Structure formats: structure tokens, C-alpha cells
Amino acid sequence: MIEVINVEKKFGEITVLKNINFNINKGEIFGYLGPNGAGKTTTIRILTGIIEPTSGEIFIDRIDLKHNKKLIRSKSGLLTENPGFYERFNAIENIKFFSKLYGLNDNDIKSKIEYYFKLFNLWDHRSIPVGAFSKGMKQKLSLIRAIIHDPEYIYLDEPTASLDPETSNIVKTFIKDLKKQGKTIFLSTHNLFEAEEVCDRVAILNREIIEIGRPDELKSKIFGNRIVVEFENEPEKVKNILSTMGINFKIEGNKIIMDYEKSISSLIKNLINSGIDVSYVYRENHSLEEIYLEMVK
Amino acid sequence: MNMKNVSIIYHKDLREIMTLRTVKYSMIIFPVLFLSILLFILYFSYLNLGSSSNIPDYFNNTLKAVPYSSNGKIFYYLSMNYLIFLSIVPLSLASTISSYSVVGEKQQKTIEPILATPIDDREFFLGKLLAPLFPTLGITYVVIAIYSIFSDLISIHFNYIIYPNISWAIVVFLFIPFSTILMVLLTLLFSSKAVDPRSSQQFSAIILIPILVVFFLSMLIYSIESILLLLLTAIVIIGDFLLFRITVKIFDRETIVTRWK
């Protein structure tokens, strides 16, 4: 479990993070959303012990990060925003170097490299200098680097940024697989569809946490839980029926938009009995993107 | 401190340096060229040594402690000075190699993934310090060995063997290693601010010039004296100590991640 308590980070006089509080449960995929400069990468750097917060406390598995950075870093895997590889080294040399720094022995490195390179279709490219790799291949290699030491906590900074849809899909599927293995994943992303698809909970950040919760919780919190009824004819008659039932509503064209109520079934019955043709009834759907835009505006 | 991590960084840097053709060739061509010129000058000087009656007084005064013939004394003096001049080789190599080691990390954006591993700042710094130091000193000692043997072969004609002697030992085992460390530290310091290896090399070359001035001054005051050489070395060691403290601060992870661009 990751516990972040009142974390603040200043660079000189500039406060880039303030009053950051959240918990991430074991085995959870936690989305971290925010505009450029919101402090997403800084948060990841703090959580991985690369830099220190100006104030506040962080506990990972109840271990104080401040005094146990090496231990925490050995339990963490990081996919950085820029892949960052030695361009003249081949893929295996690169992964070997980082694996050694994570303390893996030669036999482990060999077997894991073979497993992951085959999993990500990089095996045939293992002897090619990384400088010749495509962006997608580098990102896959970066993912291998983040997980080769079997970390419990995985921090992914924009993992699918500027990837083609196919590679992006491979990465998303892999993130879901990591969750199935019980890994805790911190996913910083601009891609709100991706966050909605894979995250159990999300935090919306703009130097401080604006909102935090499950995507569906945030939707109902921001937009309410609204039902749309589309009808074909007689809007005045529809208005009268709704008024007599005492329902809060608004009519936009041929749509009745109303808060969810248990009386929805009797409303539909009344409309049909009064000769109104009801064509669609559905819950108003908002994407995480709409929530995000609403929050950060 | 985990020396295994230091060794991993050291070996990675060394391998990376060897993949750079320009660095690899400059590690061979420059020492060979410099040594050849010095050997030629030394041999040419030997061939043109005058008779004892032509030796200026200041040579005799300065070298009165040297128990050789007059021409032998002059050859001893010249050979010792050229030996000090050989310190240009490690200074130049150290500057070239270490400027690539930090700027390379910055250009390839590999610093953050390294700092995310369980390595600490001192291990990273030490690895970066040793990677240019050992190959530089290795090449320099080969060059010095050739130079010393060549000098000895000539000095046989004056009925003595010039090397090893105390001044030589001070230059080879103290002055050269510590001035090389100074150069590596300087280059690491500049490369943390530089965006390409050339600019960090140029910065460190600016620092090299005063060192050369000190060298020429030392020639003028007849630095063949062991005490003066020890004094020069002591100054270099103090410089190492001060620069080490400054550079360690720059290798603080927060500085590396947020300010190394």
C-alpha cells in the first residue's frame, strides 16, 4: 500500500506540488491525470525516491520512504516519460546493465530477458543497437526495464504517449496483466480514454489533488446520475405529464433529461399510455475526459 | 557504499567510451603523436649537447646536486622537464573521456532510469570518476615507460641510468595521478552544465591553460628539485579535495534530475 500524506514540493520559491494526500491499495491501478506542469512526473520522482519532498510523508508497505529509499527503489519499477537507453548498446546490453543495478544475477537476467523479449516480440531485435529501434520498440524495452526485477510497485509515466494504436494496445493489455499478477500500478497519463479503460481509481491533479475516486464515482459526482428519455411527438403533452408526476426535468428538443428516479418505469408507462412514442431511454454518459475538462477548467 | 554498483557504472562507461570512434582514436593517436615528438626532441637535444665549457652557469648552479658530467646534467634536466610535459597526455585524455561520460547520459536521457535503481549518488559519482581515470592512467604509464626507457638508453652514454629517481617517482606516482583526477573532476563539473561534449572539453581546456602556465613557471624555477615537485603536487591535491567537494554536490540526485539539461 502506498500512503502519501501532506506532500509538498518546492523548487526554489516555486511550489510544484502542495497538500498531496492519497492512498493506493495493493493490486490497484491508480490513474494520475493532469495538464502539463501539473506535477505528475514530480510526484512519480518523489514516490520512486529519485527526489525528496520538501515536506510530508510517504509510506510504502508501511515503510518510511525517507529513510529507506534504496529498499523502496528495489521494490519499484519505473517507466520514464523518455525511454532513455544507450543508443550504441544493443537491447540486451541495455537491459543487462539496468538489471545488474537492480541486483539480479546473471542467470536470472538471461532467463528473464529471453522471456520478456519474446513476450514483446523483441527477441529477433535483441542484438541491434537501440539507436535503430522505433519509438514503439523503445517503449516496449522501457517496460521490460521497469518490470525485469519483478517489482511490487510499478510507476508508468505516459506509457502510451505517441505510440501507434497496436503498440498502445499491447502496452494496455500488459498493464492489465500486471494487475492480475497483483502488482500495484501508478499510471500517469494524458490519455483519458486509457485511464478510464484500465484504472480502478483516478486522481485529477493540478499542483494539488482536485478530485480523487473511481471514474464512475467522479462522473456521478460531477454530472449527477441522469437519465435521458427520447420521444417522438407532442412535447407539450410530455411536459404536462412530467409536471403532474412532480419530477425535476428539462426538455432539450425531443429529449427529457432528468435525475435518476425510481419512478422512471411509471413515467415511461404514463408516456406510452398517453400516446407518446418513446424511442430511447438511457443513462446520460460522460467520459472521463469531460470530467477532467470540468475539473481543470 | 556498494562497490558492485560502482563497478557496474564504471564498466558500462568504459564500454560506452570504446564505442565512440572519435574518443577511441584520440586515445591512441594523441599519446603516440605526443610521445613521438617528445622522443624526437629529446634525441635531437642529445645530439646537439655542447661541450662542458659551453654550459651556462645557471645549469651548473641548479644541477650541482646532480652527480653527473656537465652534459649529463643538461640531459638529466631536459629529460625531467619533458617528463613533466608528458602530463599533458593524461590531462587531455581525461578531459576527452570524461566529457563524453556525463554529456552522453544527458543526451540519451539515461540518468533518470539509473537513479530509479537502488544506486546511491556517491556510487554513481565514483563510477563516473573512475571510468575516465583508469584508462587514462593506463595509457599514460605505457607512454611514460617508453619515454623512461628511451631516456635511460641515451643516458647510458653519460655513464648513468636516469630513471627511476625520486623526482621521477613524484611525477609519475603523485603529480600525474592527482592532476588527472583534477582534470576529470573539472570536466565532470563542466559537463553537468554542458549540452555537448565539445563545450565541456573547451571549458576544461580553459582550466588546462593555467596548469600549463604553472608548468612553464616550474621549469623556470628549476622544478627538478624534488621539494618543489612535492609542493606542486600538494597544491594539486588541495585542488582535488576542494573540487571533489564541489562536484559531489553537483552529483546530488535532485540537481541531476532537475538541473542537468
SS (H, E, C) chain B: CCHHHHHHHHHHHHHHHHCCHHHHHHHHHHHHHHHHHHHHHHHHHHHCCCCHHHCCHHHHHHCCCCCCCHHHHHHHHHHHHHHHHCCHHHHHHHHHHHHHHHHHHHHHCCHHHHHCCCCCHHHHHHHHHHHHHHHHHHHHHHHHHHHHHHHHHHHHHHCCCCCCCHHHHHHHHHHHHHHHHHHHHHHHHHHCCCCCHHHHHHHHHHHHHHHHHHHHHHHHCCCCCHHHHHHHHHHHHHHHHHHHHHHHHHCCHHHHHHHCC
Residue A214 near residue A223 (C-beta atoms within 8 A)? no
- Dihedral angle sign, alpha carbons of residues B212, B217, B222, B226: negative
Residue type, A225: N
Asked, as a colleague might, if the bond just before A35 is cis with ω within 30 of 0, I would say no
A2-213 matches A221-286 in fold: no
Query: What pLDDT was estimated at residue B64?
Result: 66
Which secondary-structure segment (H or E) carries A29?
A: strand A29-33
**Distance between CA atoms of B194 and A119, rounded to whole angstroms?**
39
Residue B254 near residue B112 (C-beta atoms within 8 A)? no
Grid coordinates in use for B25? Answer: 582514436
Per-residue pLDDT band for A190 (boundaries 50, 70, 90) equals: confident
Least confident of A225-234, B103-112, B164-173: A225-234
pLDDT at A122 over 70: yes
Q: Do B114 and A101 touch (CB under 8 A)?
A: yes
**Distance between CA atoms of A153 and A71, rounded to whole angstroms?**
12
Query: B195 to each of A93, B13, B24, B203, B235, how far by Cα in Å?
Result: 25, 18, 21, 12, 31
CA distance B202 to chain A (A): 24
> For the residues B161-179, what does the mean pLDDT come to?
90
CA distance B229 to chain A (A): 42
The CATH number of domain A221-286, selected from 3.40.50.970, 3.30.70.980, 3.40.50.720, 3.40.640.10: 3.30.70.980
Task: Check residues A217 and A79 and name the one with the higher pLDDT.
Answer: A79
Residue A3 near residue A61 (C-beta atoms within 8 A)? no
Q: Which residues contact B21 (CB under 8 A, 6 or more apart)?
A: none
Residue A52 near residue A208 (C-beta atoms within 8 A)? no
> For the residues B140-151, what does the mean pLDDT come to?
96
Least confident of A133-147, A155-169, A220-234, B241-255: A220-234
Q: Which backbone phi and psi does A261 adopt, to 5 degrees? A: -135, 155
- The region that residue B252 occupies, defined by phi over 0 for left and psi between -120 and 50 for alpha, beta otherwise, is beta
Per-residue pLDDT band for A297 (boundaries 50, 70, 90) equals: low
Give the mutation candidate from B16, B112, B252 for the A interface (greatest A CB count, under 10 A). B112
pLDDT at B139 over 90: yes
Query: What pLDDT was estimated at residue B78?
Result: 84
Residue B46 near residue B75 (C-beta atoms within 8 A)? yes
**A chain contacts of residue B110, beta-carbon cutoff 8 Å:** 84-86
Least confident of B59-73, B78-92, B142-156: B59-73
Task: Give the end-to-end CA distance of chain A in Å, rounded to a whole number.
Answer: 31
Query: What pLDDT was estimated at residue A21?
Result: 94
Q: Which residue has the cell 515503510?
A: A63
pLDDT at B115 over 60: yes
pLDDT tens-digit series, residues A269-278? 888 888 888 8
DSSP-derived secondary structure letter, A51: S
Query: What pLDDT was estimated at residue B261?
Result: 66
Query: What pLDDT was estimated at residue B58?
Result: 62
Look up the CATH number of domain A2-213: 3.40.50.300
Residue A116 near residue A177 (C-beta atoms within 8 A)? no
Average pLDDT, chain B: 82
Whole-model pTM over 0.90: no
pLDDT at A8 over 60: yes
> Residue A263 in 3-state DSSP?
coil
Per-residue pLDDT band for A215 (boundaries 50, 70, 90) equals: confident
0.90 surpassed by complex ipTM: no
DSSP-derived secondary structure letter, A132: G
CA distance A124 to chain B (A): 22
Alpha-carbon Rg for chain A, nearest whole angstrom, is 25
Q: Do A51 and B112 touch (CB under 8 A)?
A: no
pLDDT at B29 over 80: yes
Q: Do B116 and A48 touch (CB under 8 A)?
A: yes
Query: What pLDDT was estimated at residue A146?
Result: 94
pLDDT at B55 over 60: no
pLDDT at B28 over 70: yes
pLDDT at A94 over 90: yes
Domain ranges of chain A: 2-213, 221-286
Query: What pLDDT was estimated at residue B7?
Result: 94
**B chain contacts of residue A70, beta-carbon cutoff 8 Å:** 118, 120
